[in-house]
Amino acid sequence: MPKFPNLFSPVHIGGVEIANRIVSTGHETTMGERGLISDRMIAYHEARARGGAGLIIVQAAGIHETARYSAHLLMLTDDHAIPGYARLAERLHGFGTKVFGQLFHPGREIFDTEDGTAAVGYAPSAVPTSRFRVMPVPLTRGLIAEIVDGYACAARRLMAAGLDGCEIVASHGYLPAQFLNPSLNLRDDEYGGSLVNRTRFINETAAAIRDATQPDFAISLRISGEEKDAEAMDPAEILEACRLINREGVVDCFHVIAGTSASMEGAAHIAPAMHLAPGYTAPIAASVKRLVGKPVIVTGRINQPQIAEAILAGGQADLCGMTRAMICDPEMPAKARAGRTNDIRACIGCDQACIGHFHKSAPVSCIQFPESDRELTLAAQKMPATRRRKVLVASELPPRNLRRCRPPPVPVCERPRR
């Protein structure tokens, strides 16, 4: 009997069949070049596809000029983005891996600009973020319509590039989440007030994407089931929002995580560190799964295949985001499938070279696996030798008998003679 029967069973998201339940979720790699997919980024994702990931969700890409929250954000605002995504999709599809692209607008969560000038954010209402100290400009109805159209156009470009689906980033306090949150959305028009009104932006966005793409192009919605912040939405209201969104019948999958970018407290859950229990978000995902009856991806410190298998076997989710597990060991899926669990390098949640590098505007990597981000240099040097040779490894070892290495005794001063 296979060691992980649930983890390595196929699953459908909309019209897309995924070979297994392991997902490399959307995460900023800082490997883009002038807002476009680079060869370096393709090599990075290709290593995870070769290692056996069932689904790779490519990092957030801006869908409107007001979405430039960082100087290194990918942009999907014109057709120049299509060739890079097409090369990426072709390479990953070669390993049987399915590919989604994230569609992103940060709203008020703007933290730097390319030229260092003050950032300008746009949000449902003029409520500042405590983390980045940005006072946003309230969105007009006209600009909301532009942004919704931006999501649709970006999704159409992903489909033209050969990707299998897209993911609306409504998690971590970004623009769609700002519309949902009554503490941040103070509008008195059709986008504010009741929860039905506050879900309108997401529903209009999903509907516009569906109209712009083919029926078998999958649509995922990433949402924070618990924001874990002082200004957080009530988790019960988030569940109700999921029910209302699901009722429209457009979204094919819900991707559940925790946290928000709006505060340091909430942002700690974007890349949860070692003090949080592995798989701690699974109960949150289970609540969404019971409500929507659609495939649910769960992400949050799922660093070993045993943890993922238990979550799936318990019916808490249908797929598991294991991003940092594959930054630490791109071959984790293949090793797990082969039963070589003792050979897996497990992510310890130190956050030093993954999210730590991102905060320094450097490409993500791993202290346990420095080949991550260096697939075109270090990883390329790891080809098996064509001829066997004898190698001598010389090392300075501590002496066996440590007693012989004790320092000489310090002389004791004699008492002065009288």
CATH of the domain at 119: 3.20.20.70
The yes-or-no verdict on residue 403 having pLDDT over 70 is: no
Q: In this structure, are residues 269 and 301 in contact, taking their beta carbons and an 8 Å threshold?
A: no
CA distance 26 to 136: 25
Q: Are 116 and 132 in contact (CB under 8 A)?
A: no
What pLDDT band is residue 356 in, cutting at 50, 70 and 90? confident
Q: Alpha-carbon distance 348 to 367, whole Å?
A: 10
Residue 414 covered by a domain: no
For residues 183-196, give the mean pLDDT. 97
For 133, left (φ over 0), alpha (ψ -120 to 50), or beta? left
| 415 is a domain residue | no
CA dist., res. 240 & res. 169, Å (int): 18
| CA separation, residue 30 to residues 6, 37, 165 (Å) | 33, 10, 22
Assess if residue 416 is contained within a domain.
Answer: no
The overall average pLDDT reported for the chain is: 91
pTM, entire model: 0.89
Q: For residue 17, is it within any domain?
A: yes
pLDDT surpassing 90 at residue 6: yes
| pLDDT, average across residues 321-338 | 96
Selection from 6, 1, 94 nearest residue 42 by Cα:
94
Say if CB 237 and CB 184 are below 8 A apart.
Answer: no
- Is the pLDDT at 31 greater than 50? The verdict is yes
**For the chain, how many structural domains are there in total?**
1
Q: Are 138 and 181 within 8 A, CB to CB?
A: no
Catalytically active residues, by annotation: 174
25 within a domain of the structure (yes/no)? yes
In a domain, 3, yes or no: no
Q: Is there a domain that residue 412 lies in?
A: no
Distant-in-sequence, close-in-space partners of 391: CB < 8 Å, separation ≥ 6: none
Q: Tell me the mean pLDDT in the region 186-211.
A: 98
Report, in this order, helix, strand and coil percent for the chain, each rounded to 5.
Answer: 35, 15, 50
| Pairing, β 74-75 against β 218-226 | unpaired
Residue 417 in any domain: the answer is no
Question: Can you tell me whether residue 25 is helix, strand or coil?
Answer: coil
Q: Are 280 and 312 in contact (CB under 8 A)?
A: no
Strands 11-13 vs 16-18: parallel, antiparallel or unpaired = antiparallel
**Is 319's pLDDT higher than 90?**
yes
> What would the mean pLDDT of 345-366 be, rounded to a whole number?
86
Q: In the structure encoding, which two tokens stand for residue 389, read together?
A: 């040779």
Asked whether residue 261 carries a pLDDT value surpassing 80, the answer given is: yes
CA distances from 14 to 108, 151, 166, 309 (A): 32, 19, 11, 22
Full domain range(s) for residue 260? 11-405
- The rounded distance, in Å, linking the Cα atoms of 98 and 255 is 16
Beta-bridge mates of residue 60: 102
Mean pLDDT in residue range 240-267: 94
